[in-house]
Structure formats: structure tokens, C-alpha cells
Amino acid sequence: MENDRLFWVLSLALILIVGMNVMIYLALRGKKSGDATNPLSGLAKGLRNPWEAEDTAINELSDIVAKLKGRKPDNHEEHSEGNLGDS
């Protein structure tokens, strides 16, 4: 009985390990084989500025609103620091 349980536990572990390796292989196969650290640099960029996409969208919205109001759009460099300023 104990050997039977050990067999199933080891079989399940082997299936999980092989399955995860196949999934990793398939995920990496579709990517370009240039730089292996590219995903890490993307992660680091996201950690440095986690709200970059939101900042870009807010800046675009600000430009559109300024054009609708007939004003010249402001420089958005000061907004990238996280300060929205008084507009």
C-alpha cells in the first residue's frame, strides 16, 4: 500500500515537472532569440515606473482637453515625477 502511494506521488511530480518544462519551452520558442535578459529589463522598467501607461494616457487626455479649450498643451515632463500640478 505504501509503495503504491509513493509510485503515484512520484508519477504526479514527474508529470508536473515535465509539463512545466514543456510550457516554458513553448512560451520561449515563440519569442525572438536575441536577448535572453529582455524580459528582465522589461520587468525592471515596469518596477521603475509602474504607472507609465497611465501617465501616458493622462498626458494624451490633457493634450486633447487643451486643444478643445484652445490652449497650447503644457510640457508634461513635470507630470512624470508623479506631481499632477495645478492646471
* Among the listed residues 68, 50, 48, 65, the one whose alpha carbon sits nearest the alpha carbon of residue 76: 65
Question: Among the residues of 30-80, which ranges form H helices?
Answer: 38-48, 52-69
CA–CA separation, 9 and 65 (whole Å): 62
- Confidence class for position 87, pLDDT limits 50, 70, 90: very low
Average pLDDT over residues 56-79: 80
Which three cell numbers mark 30? 515563440
This prediction has a pTM of 0.37
Q: Using one digit for the tens of pLDDT, what is the confidence trace for 15-33?
A: 999 999 998 888 888 765 5
Largest Cα span, the chain: 82
Q: Using one digit for the tens of pLDDT, what is the confidence trace for 70-85?
A: 876 666 555 545 555 5
Is the separation of the CB atoms in 87 and 63 below 8 Å? no
pLDDT value for 29:
80
- Confidence class for position 7, pLDDT limits 50, 70, 90: very high
